[in-house]
Structure 1
Amino acid sequence: MSNILLIFLLQIILVPTLSLRIIFVVKNMSILASIFGFLEALIYVFGLSIVLSGEQSIPEMLVYALGFAAGIFLGNYIENKLALGYTTLTVNLMNRNTELVSTLRNNGYGVTVFEGMGKDSVRYQLQILTKRSLEENVMSIIEKFDPSAFIISYEPRKFKGGYLLKAMKKTKKRKS
């Protein structure tokens, strides 16, 4: 019974560690990725040695798999809470909605407005780059001012210059 609990606990620790390692690799954070890779390998070898030693009981193997699934859930939860990186929101509007644009800018978000031709009339597109941890806040502002807006969110890998970097530099200067 103690082996089963240990296996489950190891899997719940292993899989979020694996998830975080992958995230840090993708975000080009090599030192953190290496640290989590070391921990991942250590936990993996230890857990697998318990499962494969002795009689290889079916309950232990099932708990190993169940712990893996629970670890995926926990890893996803942790990743969403950390919300590392940035997100770009592309917002398509039927109307110019200057009140929405002003509100977003007054809340510190950089907004670029494009005008284009849709199927039946002129459409407006907003492009907003923000920290991923603030994405839900931006979405709620958009929803409040234009519930029919079409929104696409994606994570940019690299960017250079622009409003967000200027705002971050101002914030750092104020703190020092």
Structure 2
Amino acid sequence: MGVRKQAGDREFQAFVVGCWPRLMRTAFLLTGEQHAAEDLVQSTLEQVYVAWHRVAAANDPEAYVRRVMINAHARRYRRKLREFLAPRSEDAGLTHEVADTGDRIAQADDRHTLLNALAELPTRQREAVVLRYWEDLTEMQTAEAMGCSVGTVKSNAAKGIAKLRALSGLAETVTQGGRK
């Protein structure tokens, strides 16, 4: 193996180690299932590894990889979105994430309710809400990751937040949480 190839492999490995938790969190929020999230991240990293020289040369390699992951998710679930997002039982939905001890959301008492509410959003609204408010990206970064305009991000995020606010279970949880 050449020196250049070994250096690229070390750089890729360092990137994966540093970004894995964030990529997994985003993938989980997009897919709704831990195993699907792992598959999505792994397949994304396979694609990225093949073109690592191009990805590493990008201004923001993590944003580049996030965009590849969002595109892969959209392709994978475009046809069966409604069926995929529908809860299969009371315990189904976004409830099987492996908690990240440094993640404040993971420590919230009402995580189950929030994740189930998030699962009810259409894909584009979920993507906008997750990237804007969970990943704390700017509108411009979110637009780049989703491959759309800033206006579309604003619209999808606003609609997603409005739907989340309209859900009675989530609204009751927030109200009760404020009184504790």
Q: Would you say same fold, with TM above 0.5?
A: no
**Greater share of residues in strand:** 1
Select the structure with the greater relative contact order (CA < 8 A; seq sep ≥ 6).
1
**Greater share of residues in helix:** 2
Q: Please identify the structure whose Cα radius of gyration is greater.
A: 1
